Structure 1
């Protein structure tokens, strides 16, 4: 599929007329019509209802329009990001992290260092699969990854085998929580001898936190069954559904501190929580001066944590 066809299609939707759209796209009408037909042939469905005046979209055309706009926006944003990174060269640190870490530890630990040091950053990911972070660092798609670490996780193993450097910046708690009732107790939870299955908001198989959650369920609450209401790769999405009362689930404490403090969420059972490390990884062969500057600041944070 040619990106030009998507722009042609968007112009035709705006103009609702082949002649005006062709003029807008600075091409002859026959050539413009051929490109729209080529787009329809490539997709395998008819997008334009040519029997109406002004032109209308078929049901498939309506669906395709929304997706075409997303593709065009993504294309333009990608070009802009590439141009920005290329222009900045070695002054830009490309960082990859899950969305939940951007909103918590990245903001509190890394942002102050980049601001004080005048270091430009380019942020990547949010919903990547766990192993995509490793691949991105190995292939130099990014300079640093910020990640959760727990003994049950194995996706970071290839970095440790290859002697990539890492620092522990903070510790977090992975807690089972539920929406609070009016009396302030957890709406869902586990009880000794409980027979009713507990609704669980789970992480998808690609999430780094899935193995931690599954380990807690297997080891600590075997007597009571759970049923998965929904699976999601993002901790923020799991949090949103817990707040709406769909069930309980495990979340990093740093992500729900406000909700725990104001009583919207309650811990199901503190004994079912476990510790998480917040780590940063980099390739020691990466020679960016700005990365060395940032790493020096991160080492100071890591050293203070271990004292």
Structure 2
């Protein structure tokens, strides 16, 4: 048994695709498939039903998934505790944060969170929402920093994780100041988030059934808000972008509204942690947030 097998198992259960899960795990698809098969051989049962459309959990796989996730968290927690005892990781806070919050919000918020008591070490992992959620589930980080919307619950078991609201943000439909798509009801080039994006889940929920009304024509997609912002600055289309990321561009007049304020999407910014114990220093930090 290897820890990476359990991590691969959870990733494939999340993505339902060997190709996408292998990409998320930064390994080739053949190597990823071999590791999943090795876990199945060790367990002595098939964990996935394989079809041309992807992979779905068998009943045995569904039964095993929560236990595998908890075992992974415990192993990472055991490593962190051992390193703290040895003085190798004392007072280290480990965060996973979505890209859009890593750029501007996280540094400012962390300075305020110190409250006069300097934090000795911070490790920030910046990635898509899906990867960040996996890192928290697997115990690789103590905290997840992400956008939340009350109508779009996170893909985390509510009986295993708890969160605090630590800020607010808003998604605004923006275009480049020089963009000109006409005043008639013609197709509006649309810069969209991919499925891996937490913001993508929220925007998709808000626009469900309204794409035709807005005459949105998908042109480009990415899980990175910063990439969509760059495309909008190049006058390639409209994108729903976080105000926290685009404040300077709006002030400078390089990005302007594409739609009125009724299409804005109010967001909360949450810090999430496991209900299970984390390191003493991380517990103290959480208590003070």
TM range (shorter): 0.5 to 0.7
Q: Which residue of 2 aligns with 1:131?
A: 130
Structure 2 segments unaligned to the other structure (5+ residues): 1-79
> Larger radius of gyration, structure 1 or 2?
1
RMSD: 2.5
Give the secondary-structure state (helix, strand or coil) at the position aligned to 1:146: strand
Q: Which residue of 2 aligns with 1:195?
A: 185
Out of 172, 177, 181, the position equivalent to 1:175 is 172
* Cα distance per residue 1:206-234 (max 9 Å; x no partner): 11111222233335554242222211011
CA separation of 1:180 and 1:165: change in aligned 2, threshold 3 A: same
Q: How far did residue 203 of structure 1 move?
A: 0.6
Give the secondary-structure state (helix, strand or coil) at the position aligned to 2:104: helix
Give the secondary-structure state (helix, strand or coil) at the position aligned to 1:254: helix
Q: How far did residue 152 of structure 1 move?
A: 4.1
Q: Which residue of 2 aligns with 1:217?
A: 207
Alignment length (residue pairs): 205
Partners in 2 of 1:105 and 1:143 — Cα distance?
Answer: 18
Give the secondary-structure state (helix, strand or coil) at the position aligned to 1:97: strand
* Cα distance per residue 1:3-60 (max 9 Å; x no partner): xxxxxxxxxxxxxxxxxxxxxxxxxxxxxxxxxxxxxxxxxxxxxxxxxxxxxxxxxx
1:59-78 superposed matches below 5 A:
none
- In the alignment, is the contact (CA less than 8 A) between 1:152 and 1:211 conserved in 2? no
Give the secondary-structure state (helix, strand or coil) at the position aligned to 1:136: helix
Q: Which residue of 2 aligns with 1:144?
A: 143
* Cα distance per residue 1:36-86 (max 9 Å; x no partner): xxxxxxxxxxxxxxxxxxxxxxxxxxxxxxxxxxxxxxxxxxxxxx9x998
Q: How far did residue 268 of structure 1 move?
A: 1.6
1:1-307 superposed matches below 5 A:
88-114=88-114, 116-119=116-119, 120-126=121-127, 128=128, 130-154=129-153, 156-162=154-160, 164-181=161-178, 187-188=180-181, 194-220=184-210, 222-269=212-259, 270-298=261-289
- In the alignment, is the contact (CA less than 8 A) between 1:200 and 1:249 conserved in 2? yes
Partners in 2 of 1:107 and 1:188 — Cα distance?
Answer: 37
Moved more, 268-277 or 107-116: 107-116
